[in-house]
Structure 1
Amino acid sequence: MGQSPSFPLSKSSPPPLCRRSLSSSMAPPMPALPVPAGSGSIAPFVAPPPARDHTQDLPDEILTLVFASLTPAERNACSLACARWKEVDAATRHRLSLEARALLGDAAPHLFARFTAVTKLALRCARGSGADSLSDEGATLVAAALPSDRLARLKLRGLRQLSDAGLASLVAAAPVLRKLSVASCTFGPKAFVAVLRSCPLLEDLSVKRLRGLTDTSGAVTAITEDILFPPASSLRSVCLKDLYSALCFVPLIASSPNLRSLKILRCSGAWDQPLEVIAARAPGLVEIHLERLQVGDRGLMAVSACTNLEVLFLVKTPECTDAGIISVAQNCHKLRKLHIDGWRTNRIGDHGLMAVARGCPDLQELVLIGVNPTVQSLRMLGEHCRMLERLALCGCDTVGDTEIICLAERCAALKKLCIKGCPVSDRGMGALNGGCPSLVKVKLKRCRGVSYACVEHLKVARGDSFSISLDIVLEHDAGGASENAVQETGQVQITELTGQMAAMDLPTNAAGAQSFAQANSRMRSVMSALRRRFGNPPPM
């Protein structure tokens, strides 16, 4: 009945159409055949030649500049584009960050054979890695492959399997190291003896959250601990942060006579006596940061022996009073930046700030948080500190309109002003319209007495070069029209919460009674906050 196909078909053979489509898609394109004139047929499409890759004309120096402006992820992607880009990237990459797993030691020779220009190396390990992080044996293999003549910066993060010996092997392979940063590692202070011996050019040392520190009870025990640190004449900056017992590093700091910057942040122990030792051994300190430390006026008096001090941060040190600030102001006449977070203890006030005004005429930046200055001290600051350019007043209950008017009249060099949580209003801010001729930026936050109309007026009056921002938190509303709507919304929320409390099931046992009491207490706290925010609800 029907004609059979011209070639046999098997069950496993695809249809002829599939074969033709597969062969046509995989075969190279056929050259176009000449078409006779007048035949009426359409000439076949001929693909244009590939566009010229002009990036091949760029010299390696230009590619290096382009790669230097990219992020690490973008640079990694570009290195996969072609063989030339891969070679240029490898030969010019100075910063390298590696996941410090246990197998890194085996891959290190191939990695550093490719990246020969690395000067900044970061070895990181995630928190959940556990025993899979780099060990001492792996650190030895990495150290053998490091570019020892180039590596200037080393950062270690989360290497919990690395001991004192592992750190010693790494730093021994980096004799020109200038900056070392370690965090969340398990080695102790003795490991840094090898660091100072192997890296005579070390300038910057940062130690955070070490887990291998032993407990020290009292400053005397820590200072006389049997750890002999070699002299670190090149060390310029030391940062200790979140250390359970940072007092064991006092001998290291004391062995750095040329130290310029010292930051001790959130470290346990009594620091008055250690600061006396440090100031006696490193009198050239220029910058000191003390945050959440057990330090008082005795420690500040020791700091005042550093007559070249230019930057002082006192953050949440409740034992410091006006007496310590007065001692610093009387001896540190080069002070340029002063940050004080009084933590609302009211132990630092007008007396200390007036001493700063008299003794620190070069002051350029002053930040007061939880400190309550008045017109008396602010007037002296404006009169004596003629170079004061940046001022921040945060949570100062005594700073109102009178104080802002005083600043507007006295601070001619002021450029940036920040006011947060202070009882100022439009009257005080209006004084900035004609005062502080150098003022270019004002930031207001949680100042409910200042209206947006006042802000807009200042913008128009001072011109385009002036910037001002207002962020009102927990305000009733900026305009009177929407205030009633907000009030009604708050009353509805309170009414709904009251209904929910009424619909609660009473407990049937003691455990339920305790849980219900806790929930009831939390609910009352929420309702009290809503009442303070929106007012009392209407009677039901």
Structure 2
Amino acid sequence: MVSMQMSSGFCSNWDLLEENLLPVEVVDRGLQVLDNGCTNLRRLLVINASELGLLTLAEECLTLQELELHKCNDNVLRRIAACENLQILKLVRTIDGLYSSLVSDIGLTILAQGCKRLVKLELSGCEGSFDGIKAIGQCCLMLEELTIFDHRMEDGWLAALSYCENLKTLKFLSCKRIDWNPSPDEYFGFCPTLKRLHLQKCQLRNKKSMRALFRSED
């Protein structure tokens, strides 16, 4: 584990931090060493891995249950879907000023079709729409907790939550918006098992958005 502490005046050019991330090739070599020596690995956090590195991880570490993946994209998720025993997953697409990548409906659908045993899922800075969340709800039948952090979802995505039929906890963290233009009422179902709704540092001034959110929890 490496820790780096910086004062607020350390650097005004965040590109310097991007340049100091380990290259993909180095991360992949590290994952290969890890896979060879820790086949019983259950929990991992990784930044800037490639498809090849994560495919090796999925093939060798069959007991992996919890993964936090930073700077990921749709192509990387094609391989993470091979982690069939994964139960807890956190996807961090972007951190403002440090790095950014792309996670869209394509990646979310691939993920849903591969990681069907997910119990907890956190999407941080991810893009997508109704279709991506619907795929997760339809395929990840064991999903009990969904966390949405600073999302970039398209309008109308909120109605897809009704497909998460076993969802018990729904969290919104630091979301500048929930769903500014929700789907018409006839497209909304509800989450029958939901017990906890958590809102933290979110903008809740849009009445349509809030009405749609609470309608899905009826």
TM-score w.r.t. length of structure 1: 0.32
Instruction: Give matches, 1:56-67, under 5 Å.
Output: none
Determine if contact 1:422/1:446 at 8 Å carries over to the other structure. yes
Counterpart of 2:54? Answer: 300
The change in CA–CA distance for 1:414 and 1:432 in structure 2 (over 3 A counts) is farther
Counterpart of 2:87? Answer: 336
Equivalent in 168, 176, 179 of residue 415 of structure 1: 168
Give the partner amino acid of 1:323.
Answer: N
Using the TM superposition, give the Cα deviation of residue 338 of structure 1 relative to its aligned residue in structure 2, in angstroms: 0.9
In 1, Cα distance between the equivalents of 2:45 and 2:210?
Answer: 40
Structure with the greater alpha carbon radius of gyration: 1
CA deviation vs aligned residue, 1:371-415 (integer Å, no higher than 9, x gap): 102222211111111111111222222243x2111212x111111
In 2, Cα distance between the equivalents of 1:358 and 1:427?
Answer: 26
SS at match of 1:277: helix
Determine if contact 1:379/1:407 at 8 Å carries over to the other structure. yes
SS at match of 2:62: coil
Counterpart of 1:439? Answer: 194
Counting helix residues as a fraction of each chain, which structure ranks higher?
Answer: 1
Using the TM superposition, give the Cα deviation of residue 241 of structure 1 relative to its aligned residue in structure 2, in angstroms: 3.4
Determine if contact 1:394/1:421 at 8 Å carries over to the other structure. no
Using the TM superposition, give the Cα deviation of residue 297 of structure 1 relative to its aligned residue in structure 2, in angstroms: 3.0
In 1, Cα distance between the equivalents of 2:186 and 2:69?
Answer: 31
SS at match of 2:128: coil
Counterpart of 1:395? Answer: 150
CA deviation vs aligned residue, 1:474-521 (integer Å, no higher than 9, x gap): xxxxxxxxxxxxxxxxxxxxxxxxxxxxxxxxxxxxxxxxxxxxxxxx
Determine if contact 2:179/2:209 at 8 Å carries over to the other structure. no
Equivalent in 35, 44, 48 of residue 288 of structure 1: 44
* In the alignment, structure 1 residue 326 sits paired with structure 2 residue 81: no
In 2, Cα distance between the equivalents of 1:428 and 1:450?
Answer: 14
Instruction: Give matches, 1:365-404, under 5 Å.
Output: 365-400=120-155, 402-404=156-158
Counterpart of 1:44? Answer: none
Unaligned runs of 5+ in 1: 1-239, 245-266, 463-540
Q: Name which structure has the greater RCO, CA cutoff 8 Å, separation 6+.
A: 2
Using the TM superposition, give the Cα deviation of residue 360 of structure 1 relative to its aligned residue in structure 2, in angstroms: 1.5
Determine if contact 2:93/2:124 at 8 Å carries over to the other structure. yes
CA deviation vs aligned residue, 1:14-59 (integer Å, no higher than 9, x gap): xxxxxxxxxxxxxxxxxxxxxxxxxxxxxxxxxxxxxxxxxxxxxx
Give the partner amino acid of 2:88.
Answer: K
Give the partner amino acid of 1:446.
Answer: Q
Give the partner amino acid of 1:311.
Answer: E
* In the alignment, structure 1 residue 241 sits paired with structure 2 residue 19: no
In 1, Cα distance between the equivalents of 2:62 and 2:106?
Answer: 21
Unaligned runs of 5+ in 2: 6-19
In 2, Cα distance between the equivalents of 1:430 and 1:417?
Answer: 20
RMSD across aligned C-alpha pairs, in angstroms?
A: 3.3
CA deviation vs aligned residue, 1:256-294 (integer Å, no higher than 9, x gap): xxxxxxxxxxx964322111111122122111112xx45
Counting strand residues as a fraction of each chain, which structure ranks higher?
Answer: 2
Using the TM superposition, give the Cα deviation of residue 425 of structure 1 relative to its aligned residue in structure 2, in angstroms: 4.5
In 2, Cα distance between the equivalents of 1:321 and 1:365?
Answer: 19
- Equivalenced residues, count: 191
Counterpart of 1:495? Answer: none
CA deviation vs aligned residue, 1:101-122 (integer Å, no higher than 9, x gap): xxxxxxxxxxxxxxxxxxxxxx
CA deviation vs aligned residue, 1:411-433 (integer Å, no higher than 9, x gap): 11111112322341485697999
In 1, Cα distance between the equivalents of 2:187 and 2:197?
Answer: 10
Give the partner amino acid of 1:356.
Answer: L
Determine if contact 1:322/1:347 at 8 Å carries over to the other structure. yes
Determine if contact 2:104/2:128 at 8 Å carries over to the other structure. yes
Using the TM superposition, give the Cα deviation of residue 351 of structure 1 relative to its aligned residue in structure 2, in angstroms: 2.1
In 2, Cα distance between the equivalents of 1:343 and 1:448?
Answer: 25
Equivalent in 273, 287, 294 of residue 29 of structure 2: 273
Instruction: Give matches, 1:78-477, under 5 Å.
Output: 240-242=1-3, 269=22, 270-290=26-46, 293-305=47-59, 306-315=61-70, 317=71, 320-329=72-81, 331-343=82-94, 345-400=100-155, 402-408=156-162, 410-419=163-172, 420-425=175-180, 427=182, 435-444=190-199, 445-450=202-207, 454=211, 458=214, 462=218
In 2, Cα distance between the equivalents of 1:354 and 1:334?
Answer: 17
Using the TM superposition, give the Cα deviation of residue 447 of structure 1 relative to its aligned residue in structure 2, in angstroms: 4.0
- Identity across matched positions, percent: 23
